[in-house]
């Protein structure tokens, strides 16, 4: 047996690790609650955190605090690269099986007309993992490329539009070379 004065060995389960990550994501950061982006949608923050603690994705309404611009995967990742290279504020960006989702101010992308892009607005919903699920980690085929932060930062839809047009041009999509 071991030394009688030593503590028993405790193993940390995956569930404990997940709960700790959720707790980290839901506590304060620089004096602001890190779940303010959830609260702004009007859903219950405590129910959302409980859903995450159960290992499930949370369902949040779109068109209340933000809209979603969904881009195809390759172009979406190119837009993220382009915006980071130009020091543009991205706001939350989510990778899903359907595409790369950028959170933008409500109504700011209503006139988008670029091929391959879709805008989710009022009446639609988005399944999101806890902000602690950041690439390369995934949950149900979803991961945050840029996790939500406490401060209310969203991508500028006009700049996002230009970055997407540039990404399509660079990738030869506008000319049908794909």
Nearest to 65 by CA among 121, 8, 140: 121
pLDDT in tens, 119-135: 999 999 999 999 999 99
pLDDT in tens, 31-88: 334 688 899 999 999 999 999 999 999 999 999 999 999 999 999 999 999 999 999 9
pLDDT in tens, 89-102: 899 999 999 999 99
The C-alpha atoms of residue 101 and residue 67 are separated, in whole angstroms, by: 10
**Is 102 within 8 Å of 155 (Cβ atoms)?**
yes
Q: Where are the alpha helices (DSSP H) in 40-103?
A: 45-53, 73-85
């Amino acid at each position: 047996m071991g030394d009688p004065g030593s503590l028993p060995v405790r193993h940390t389960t995956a569930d404990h690790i997940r709960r700790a990550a959720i707790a980290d994501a839901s506590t304060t950061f620089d004096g602001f609650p890190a779940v303010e982006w959830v609260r702004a949608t009007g859903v219950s923050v405590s129910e959302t955190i409980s859903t995450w603690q159960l290992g499930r994705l949370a369902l949040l309404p779109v068109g209340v605090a933000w809209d979603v611009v969904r881009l195809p995967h390759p172009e979406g990742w190119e837009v993220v690269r382009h915006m980071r290279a130009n020091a543009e504020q991205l706001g939350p960006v989510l990778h899903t099986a359907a595409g790369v989702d950028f959170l933008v101010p409500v109504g700011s992308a209503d006139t988008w007309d670029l091929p391959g892009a879709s805008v989710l607005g009022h009446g639609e919903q988005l399944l999101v993992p806890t902000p602690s699920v950041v690439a390369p980690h995934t949950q149900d085929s979803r991961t945050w490329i840029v996790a939500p932060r406490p401060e209310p930062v969203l991508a500028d839809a006009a700049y996002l539009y230009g970055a997407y047009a540039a990404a399509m041009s660079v990738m030869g999509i506008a000319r049908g070379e794909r």
